[in-house]
């Protein structure tokens, strides 16, 4: 979803000052990423408590339009204001919006007998993916930036397939998109983390946006698969 990614370039940094700058961006990114979880949870709670999740379920076409307009509109605004405190406020508003949109899936899963356990399992799986990719990005000498172009094409295909399936309603396509999304966004997470660690991303707001989107898509698609295959509907 994030088409505002910057190309990896480690030549911007060098020496101790460069290392200090990279550490600062990485530290601020992790801090803002942790803070962004709060409005995400609040947005999901608002969606569940107000019945907004059920409204989205009754009108998937309008929900898709709302999601695309809201998400890409806020992402554009964040990038335009990424060098000021307004960018942080917009990012937190974006994460609230994403939590609100996630409430539809959460409501579906929570309607199952083991819904809470599935959510915790999806959260744990997402955290495991994050830990693995962060470890690889910080230790490997291989440059993964060349994957970015192909991964972005994959994201576009996922968006088109997801929109098409609103009308087609093909279970096989839904499962295929979910599995592909987990793989693509896991790889994008690796690329994004390596870009931050190597100094290719100098703005922690942009860095947080990229990593957040990766984690959000991994979590939501993993939760969808767990709900389909592991949900207790009795």
Place of tokens 């970015």: 148
> In Å, how far from its chain's centre is CA 206?
13
Domain count of the fold of the chain: 1
Is the pLDDT score of 117 beyond 90?
yes
109-141 residues labelled b (16+ CB within 10 A) or e (exposed): bbebebbeebbeebeebbeebbeebbeebeeee
Is the pLDDT score of 63 beyond 50?
yes
Give the whole-angstrom CA distance, residue 176 versus residue 17: 45
pLDDT value, residue 233? 66
Average pLDDT over residues 45-70: 91
What is the domain extent for residue 220?
14-230
Range of weakest confidence among 134-138, 175-179, 226-230: 226-230
Average pLDDT over residues 25-37: 96
Residue 234: band (very low, low, confident or very high) from pLDDT cuts 50, 70, 90: low
Residue 113: band (very low, low, confident or very high) from pLDDT cuts 50, 70, 90: confident
Is the pLDDT score of 153 beyond 80?
yes
pLDDT value, residue 77? 97
pLDDT value, residue 61? 86
pLDDT tens figures, 156-187:
999 999 999 988 889 999 999 999 999 999 99
pLDDT value, residue 19? 82
Give whole-number Cα distances, 7 to 34, 149, 181, 198, 224, in Å.
25, 10, 22, 11, 31
In a domain, 9, yes or no: no
Length in residues, the chain: 234
Q: What are phi and psi of 9, to 5 degrees?
A: -150, 105
In a domain, 8, yes or no: no
Is the pLDDT score of 18 beyond 60?
yes
Is the pLDDT score of 232 beyond 80?
no
Residue 202, judged by CB atoms within 10 A of its CB (0-12, 13-18, 19+), counts as middle
pLDDT value, residue 8? 37
Average pLDDT over residues 90-110: 96
Could you tell me the pTM of the whole model?
Answer: 0.90
In a domain, 62, yes or no: yes
In a domain, 4, yes or no: no
- Written as six digits, the tokens of 58 are 């009754």
């Amino acid at each position: 979803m994030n088409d505002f990614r910057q190309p990896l370039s480690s030549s911007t940094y060098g020496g101790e000052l460069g290392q200090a700058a990279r550490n600062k961006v990485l530290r601020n990114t992790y801090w803002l990423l942790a803070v962004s979880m709060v409005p995400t949870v609040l947005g999901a709670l608002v969606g569940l408590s107000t019945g907004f999740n059920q409204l989205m379920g009754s009108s998937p076409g309008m929900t898709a339009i709302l999601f695309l307009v809201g998400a890409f509109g806020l992402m554009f605004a964040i990038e335009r204001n990424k060098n000021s405190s307004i960018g942080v406020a917009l990012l937190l508003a974006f994460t609230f919006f994403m939590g609100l949109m996630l409430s539809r899936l959460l409501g579906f899963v929570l309607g199952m007998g083991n819904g809470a356990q599935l959510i915790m399992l999806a959260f744990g799986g997402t955290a495991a993916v994050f830990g693995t990719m962060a470890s690889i990005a910080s230790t490997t000498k291989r440059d993964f930036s060349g994957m970015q172009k192909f991964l972005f094409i994959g994201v576009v295909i996922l968006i088109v397939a997801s929109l098409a399936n609103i009308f087609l309603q093909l279970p096989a396509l839904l499962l295929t998109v979910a599995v592909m999304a987990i793989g693509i966004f896991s790889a994008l997470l690796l690329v994004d983390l390596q870009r931050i660690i190597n100094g290719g991303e100098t703005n922690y707001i942009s860095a947080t946006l990229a990593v957040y989107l990766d984690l959000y898509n991994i979590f939501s698609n993993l939760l969808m698969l767990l709900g389909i295959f592991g949900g207790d509907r009795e």
